[in-house]
């Protein structure tokens, strides 16, 4: 994990991190640290615990939709 953790700054694509807030078992401070290391990273916190997509699907979809570029069809 430390090898992976030390390479976030090399990420070269826009990145979205969706955090679940205080009820998540994932360390929210650690996610914020990771987001700060990744160039062009957006951190969105949705207070829903670990299963953000299941607990708050509308907020999850809104965050992902806002992040993704519009695609003409």
First to last CA, the chain: 40
DSSP 13-37: S-EEEEE--TTSSS-HHHHHHHHHH
- Coil vs helix vs strand at 2: helix
pTM across the whole model: 0.83
* Phi, psi for residue 32 in degrees, rounded to 5: -65, -40
Confidence (pLDDT) at 10: 86
**Distance from C-alpha of 19 to C-alpha of 25, rounded to nearest angstrom:** 10
- The model's pLDDT over 13-48, given as tens digits with 9 standing for 90+, comes to 899 999 999 999 999 999 999 999 999 999 999 999
Quote the tokens at residue 49.
């615990």
- The model's pLDDT over 41-52, given as tens digits with 9 standing for 90+, comes to 999 999 999 999
> Confidence band (pLDDT; 50, 70, 90) for 73?
low
């Amino acid at each position: 994990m430390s090898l992976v953790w030390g390479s976030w700054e090399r990420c070269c694509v826009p990145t979205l991190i969706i955090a679940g807030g205080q009820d998540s078992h994932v360390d929210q401070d650690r996610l914020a640290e990771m987001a700060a290391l990744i160039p062009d990273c957006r951190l969105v916190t949705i207070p829903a615990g670990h299963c953000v997509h299941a607990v708050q699907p509308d907020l999850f979809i809104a965050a992902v939709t806002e992040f993704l570029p519009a695609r003409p069809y």
